[in-house]
Amino acid sequence: MESEGKRAVVWINRLSGRAIRTIPILSENDLKIMLSSFLGSDEFNILDTEIGVNGLDKVKLEIPRYYLEIIFKVKDKYFVLDEIKLTNISAKTIFHEITGVVPKDIKWRVDNERIVLKGKASNGCYYLVVDLKNPLKPMPLIKKKRGKLIGTLYWFFKKI
Select from 85, 114, 145 the last residue of a domain: 85
Q: What is the pTM of this model?
A: 0.78
pLDDT, one tens digit per residue, over 61-107 is 999 999 999 999 988 778 888 899 999 999 999 999 999 999 988 99
- pLDDT, residue 159, reads 63
- pLDDT, residue 135, reads 86
Q: Are 99 and 122 in contact (CB under 8 A)?
A: no
Domain range for 114 is 88-157
Mean pLDDT over all residues of the chain? 86
Same domain as 62, residue 120: no
Q: Are 137 and 95 in contact (CB under 8 A)?
A: no
User: Nearest 10 degrees: CA dihedral of 26, 32, 35, 40?
Assistant: -150
- pLDDT, residue 130, reads 93
Q: Which residues of the chain have pLDDT under 70?
A: 1-5, 154-155, 158-160
Same domain as 79, residue 11: yes
First to last CA, the chain: 48
Helices H, strands E: what count in the chain?
3, 11
* Domain count for the chain: 2
- pLDDT, residue 52, reads 82
- pLDDT, residue 5, reads 67
